[in-house]
Structure 1
Amino acid sequence: MENIENRPRFSSCRGVAFEISPPRASPFSIREPQPEAEGRWAWLANRSKVLSIPSASASFRRSVSRASSHFCDVEVDEEVNDENQEDGETDIEKQLQKTPPVAPVEATPVSTGEKKNNGRFYSRISIMLLDQGLFTVYKRLYALCITLNCVALVLAATGRFSYARGHATAFAIGNVLVTVLCRSEAFLRMVFWLAVKVLGHPFVPLHLKTATTSFLQCLGGVHSGCGVSAIAWLVYALVLTLQDRENTSSAIIGVASSILALLCLSALAAFPLVRHLHHNVFERTHRFTGWAALALLWAFVLLTASFDPISKSYDLQNGAVLVNKQEFWFTAATTILIILPWLTVRRVPVQVSTPSGHASLIKFDGGVKPGILGRISRAPLSEWHAFGIISDNGKTHMMLAGAVGDFTKGLVTHPPRHLWVRSLHFAGLPYLVNMYQKVLLVATGSGICVFLSHMLQQCAAEVYVVWVAKAVEQNFGEEIVKMVRGYPKEKVILHDTATMGRPNVGELSVKAAKKWGVEAVVVTSNPEGSRDVVNACKAAGLPAFGPIWDS
């Protein structure tokens, strides 16, 4: 039986996966190897080391890695994976060859299960607090939403905002609508497209572009802030209803209380620590409690619109009463936003090949623009897996998945002929590259997958690439290698950690950005790696963006 103590740890981020390495400087770092976990979606990193986040079958188990689907982790020992250089190296590449390898960090064995559990716990605290910072744009947006709603709530409770006092349920449902908007793939795809169209011109000030990028990347803060605010407004509305109990019905109170309980359950499941430790539990709880709350919300709107406090009866014959209520329109808009992605679900034919024994390359019909991500599933009501999309915008597009858990291993051992997809793809941070004129893309390991489309097809920005990885031809397959090597050599730096050692990726990124004179840097790496690159670039006066835990 394989020795679990010697097995590596992994995690992934929006279809990009990496091996885990605890931050050496962090007091919350993990040093011990952890047991293997089944994976949900991943990328190949090494023939003996693959990547993962928890799968559906492991919903009630802790992930061996930092259990968020929003992180991309790279192993410190062997560093980020990359590809061998070609001839015609740039000055930066030659300089890198002189960089001595960084000594690997050896894992310290842990003898007791208690220490391992504590290590996992503090690792997640490290990610949420230390690695992300206390005054990020995400947290500022969250605080802003909470503050504005609290001010309005206090004014309503003290009788200084009579409109809010008389429409407390409308404020609650309105916050729910904003919460759903911030997670609507259709709405965000439109917002991202509009941002690129409006701001993607040379005359637009760079600070406006970077501010917009930060805001769109951190919309999760608005989502969380309005979600909590919706609960507060619903509690206030329920208190007012109980104070005026003689003019309402038990059914209305019961439905409102049930909605409140479901929203509280959904919010608790989304608490950062719970979300990290049990990501699949969070996902399913969020989904099904949301659907149940929406159904009860319609019941609440119909009951309140039809209830006659004088006769203590319900009468919906007068439809004008219903359509004149703000709650009706807020609920209708919320319902449309939730249903819309499901209307795009299709069962499509796929071709699955295996560039190595531990990965599958999934090919679909139809081209896709750069910066777009997609979701696939074998059981659409159970689970969805997000992957970066590789496409030249021709007749096909691809996703690359490492064989880690039940889902991704099944793609290798039992390759499907059909998969369920959401034909409405969603935009992420890479899509905003089109807003700038010149951008440096920094990728470690399989993080290159979200940038390959920018290299394969013409996009609005002039793109330069730094890729730090290990043994690309062995780990990523000939087809991926050809894509990278087809890009102009003078715009690419490839650093092979197998032959050149681990570089200082932050320093490398700053040098490359200054050499090429880019407007912004976009990085896809693990939390520590992304933070180091972003901080190094910002210290040098360069705008830089990387994935956050709730992007």
Structure 2
Amino acid sequence: MQSTVRFSSCRGVAFEIKRHEDPFAIKTLPVEEAPSNSLLFWLGSSKVFPSLISRSISKTSSHFCDLDLNEDELDIDLEIVPEENDEEKQKQSPLPLLGNSKPEQPSKPAQKNGSRLSIILLDQGLFTVYKRLFAVCLALNIAGLVLAATGNFPYARSRAALVSIANILALILCRSEAFLRVIFWLAVKIFGRSWIPLFLKTAITSLLQSLGGIHSGCGVSSIAWLTYALVLTLKDRENTSPEIIGVASTILGLLCLSCLAAFPLVRHLHHNVFERTHRFAGWTALVFLWAFVILKISYDPETKSYKNDLGSRLIKQQEFWFTVATTLLIILPWLTVRRVAVSVSAPSGHASIIKFEGGVKAGILGRISPSPLSEWHAFGIISDDKEHMMLAGAVGDFTKSLVSNPPSHLWVRQVHFAGLPYLVNMYERVVLVATGSGICVFLSFLLQKSSADVCLVWVAKGIEQNFGKEIKEMVSGWPKEKVIVHDTAVLGRPNVSQMSIEAARNWRAEVVIVTSNPEGSRDVVNACKAEGIPAFGPIWDS
């Protein structure tokens, strides 16, 4: 039986979720040993429910932005580079390089390996902004629910279904790419001024990066409110119809299915299951939501029948307008889907460059697809004022096909979305740290005029061999203090955290922003914060 290939992404870098002997096993450098009596560490380890995990066909992730890649993952030549004198090394590596000819080794003491899932979910801390937003959102809804149940919030008690729909609208807003593009733009315009205090800028960055906490909190809250509404309806079933109860129950089941699919363990190990369940269960729930609103508004409990003057009744109800707004937000991105001509070139067997017409603002990301209803892949965008391109590491079926069988057309969403890299525009001096193909989302800040003065630190293996001459030339013409490139094939694996700290100090940076795999991003962010340097990197569900 052919194995199933799954995909995920890390801040615009698509990657295939690879199979290992232990579904939670990863190959990382040793890190500090966690306390053996830590419940959180135990839950994040592969020893939890071993019989269940051993039967799973799940795969852990392998990023093209990892520093060290296995030969069977990317088919990269792992030939040992011999010692060379300085003159020969300069010929091989014309890019500005940081460090000497000897590989730098991490200065941290040995640490026990942890699962990538535990790094994503637990090592970022128990009190992250994301988790705080989730807790606040859920607490407010629970407080309202308790007040309604005790008779101290009569409006919510009589309109519990409306509160559930309002939560659905809120969670859709937190994931609407068009809406968030406007919010990010406003944040940069309002707070991207020199007189705005740095602590306020970093607070806004943390908030916008962690809106997924509100999304998740509202999702759980919508289930709680709809359950409460159903309980009240069943207690007073004489004043409702079986159709309304049936439709509401179906919506509740679909919402529960979506939440279960988004549970971190499922989402991490079965990303395609999560993505497709979320999409199709959500669309189905929206259809039933319209049926629920129409049935509920048109039903007359006195006559036990449905009235005909539906139009005039609908426009007077809040449920109708909330559902209209939710529908528009869901449909809008799909109205911008187009099949466009692309130019795909492969600088090596390990990466492809996809070119599109038209320039894109620095820090923007985009989605492409060979089949829009089945899969979408997010990538950072490299752009000048005339065209834009994406750098795709060949690590999965789709990205490998771009190398072996370059398409002439791809499906795109014309509304590009903003993420953490876009918020670079809010600051004046920034250090951008990237590993591997994570470079793509940052190159635009060099190629086009930006309000931020940036210094780029790029750590990758085989710059020209794997990423091509075009990418190499984009970064080779800049001063050494502005672009620092470390080729691990020549200089060995560096201490990226220390490189980031030194670059931030030399550049007098306000903030460091990193795009790497979960382990690398965590290490850089934690190291910078320990030195008093604000730093941001990918978070779970950002």
Taking the aligned partners of 2:350 and 2:502, their CA distance within structure 1 comes to 35
Taking the aligned partners of 1:159 and 1:357, their CA distance within structure 2 comes to 66
Match of residue 161 from structure 2? 169
User: Secondary structure of 1:97's partner?
Assistant: coil
Amino acid of the residue matched to residue 477 of structure 1? G
Q: Which runs of 5+ in 1 are unaligned?
A: 1-8, 32-59, 105-118
- Work out which of the residue numbers 370, 384, 393 in structure 2 matches 1:378: 370
Residues 190-339 of structure 1 correspond to what in structure 2 (within 5 A)?
A: 190-339=182-331
Taking the aligned partners of 2:468 and 2:95, their CA distance within structure 1 comes to 20
User: Secondary structure of 2:115's partner?
Assistant: helix
Paired residues of 2:15 and 2:61 also in contact (CA < 8 A): no
Taking the aligned partners of 2:505 and 2:331, their CA distance within structure 1 comes to 46
Paired residues of 2:104 and 2:492 also in contact (CA < 8 A): yes
**More off after superposition, 401-410 vs 270-279:** 401-410
Residues 97-116 of structure 1 correspond to what in structure 2 (within 5 A)?
A: 97=100, 100-102=103-105
**Aligned in 2, Cα 1:528/1:188: closer, same or farther, shift over 3 Å?**
same
Taking the aligned partners of 2:280 and 2:302, their CA distance within structure 1 comes to 37
Taking the aligned partners of 2:338 and 2:69, their CA distance within structure 1 comes to 40
Normalised TM-score (structure 2):
0.85
How far did residue 16 of structure 1 move?
2.1
Between 1 and 2, higher relative CO (CA 8 Å, sep ≥ 6) is seen in: 1
**Aligned in 2, Cα 1:278/1:11: closer, same or farther, shift over 3 Å?**
closer
Paired residues of 1:358 and 1:402 also in contact (CA < 8 A): yes
**Aligned in 2, Cα 1:155/1:525: closer, same or farther, shift over 3 Å?**
same
**More off after superposition, 505-514 vs 289-298:** 505-514
**More off after superposition, 430-439 vs 483-492:** 483-492
User: Secondary structure of 2:484's partner?
Assistant: strand
User: Secondary structure of 2:61's partner?
Assistant: coil
The alignment-based identity, stated in percent, is: 68
Amino acid of the residue matched to residue 515 of structure 1? N
How far did residue 444 of structure 1 move?
1.3
Amino acid of the residue matched to residue 137 of structure 1? V
Match of residue 110 from structure 2? none
**Aligned in 2, Cα 1:88/1:290: closer, same or farther, shift over 3 Å?**
closer
**Aligned in 2, Cα 1:123/1:129: closer, same or farther, shift over 3 Å?**
same
**Aligned in 2, Cα 1:274/1:11: closer, same or farther, shift over 3 Å?**
closer
How far did residue 420 of structure 1 move?
0.8
Match of residue 494 from structure 2? 503
Match of residue 446 from structure 2? 455
**Aligned in 2, Cα 1:12/1:22: closer, same or farther, shift over 3 Å?**
farther
1:402 aligns with 2:380: no
Match of residue 111 from structure 1? none
Amino acid of the residue matched to residue 22 of structure 1? T
How far did residue 401 of structure 1 move?
1.6
Paired residues of 2:14 and 2:377 also in contact (CA < 8 A): no
How far did residue 17 of structure 1 move?
5.5
How far did residue 503 of structure 1 move?
1.9
How far did residue 322 of structure 1 move?
1.3
Alignment size in residue pairs:
488
Taking the aligned partners of 2:238 and 2:345, their CA distance within structure 1 comes to 67
Match of residue 414 from structure 2? 423
Paired residues of 1:131 and 1:527 also in contact (CA < 8 A): no
Paired residues of 2:428 and 2:453 also in contact (CA < 8 A): yes
**Aligned in 2, Cα 1:309/1:481: closer, same or farther, shift over 3 Å?**
same
User: Secondary structure of 2:434's partner?
Assistant: strand
How far did residue 12 of structure 1 move?
4.6
Taking the aligned partners of 2:433 and 2:395, their CA distance within structure 1 comes to 25
How far did residue 250 of structure 1 move?
0.2
Match of residue 28 from structure 2? 22
Deviations 1:25-48 (A, max 9, x none): 3667999xxxxxxxxxxxxxxxxx
1:432 aligns with 2:423: yes
Taking the aligned partners of 1:220 and 1:510, their CA distance within structure 2 comes to 28
Paired residues of 2:394 and 2:400 also in contact (CA < 8 A): yes
- Work out which of the residue numbers 58, 61, 68 in structure 2 matches 1:65: 61
Taking the aligned partners of 1:30 and 1:248, their CA distance within structure 2 comes to 49
**Aligned in 2, Cα 1:167/1:23: closer, same or farther, shift over 3 Å?**
farther
Taking the aligned partners of 1:72 and 1:330, their CA distance within structure 2 comes to 41
How far did residue 61 of structure 1 move?
4.5
User: Secondary structure of 1:477's partner?
Assistant: helix
Paired residues of 2:11 and 2:515 also in contact (CA < 8 A): no
Match of residue 480 from structure 2? 489
How far did residue 421 of structure 1 move?
0.5
User: Secondary structure of 1:368's partner?
Assistant: coil
How far did residue 99 of structure 1 move?
6.4
Normalised TM-score (structure 1):
0.83
**Aligned in 2, Cα 1:402/1:507: closer, same or farther, shift over 3 Å?**
closer
**Aligned in 2, Cα 1:408/1:87: closer, same or farther, shift over 3 Å?**
closer
How far did residue 238 of structure 1 move?
0.5
CA RMSD of aligned residues (A): 2.7
**Aligned in 2, Cα 1:275/1:260: closer, same or farther, shift over 3 Å?**
same
Paired residues of 2:65 and 2:437 also in contact (CA < 8 A): no
Paired residues of 1:131 and 1:528 also in contact (CA < 8 A): no
1:75 aligns with 2:68: yes
Taking the aligned partners of 1:464 and 1:365, their CA distance within structure 2 comes to 27
How far did residue 328 of structure 1 move?
0.7
Deviations 1:491-515 (A, max 9, x none): 1112222222222211121111111
Match of residue 108 from structure 1? none
Paired residues of 1:21 and 1:75 also in contact (CA < 8 A): no
Paired residues of 2:510 and 2:534 also in contact (CA < 8 A): yes
Paired residues of 1:269 and 1:285 also in contact (CA < 8 A): yes
Match of residue 145 from structure 2? 153
1:538 aligns with 2:535: no
Amino acid of the residue matched to residue 145 of structure 1? C
**Aligned in 2, Cα 1:468/1:18: closer, same or farther, shift over 3 Å?**
farther
Match of residue 85 from structure 2? none
Amino acid of the residue matched to residue 459 of structure 2? V
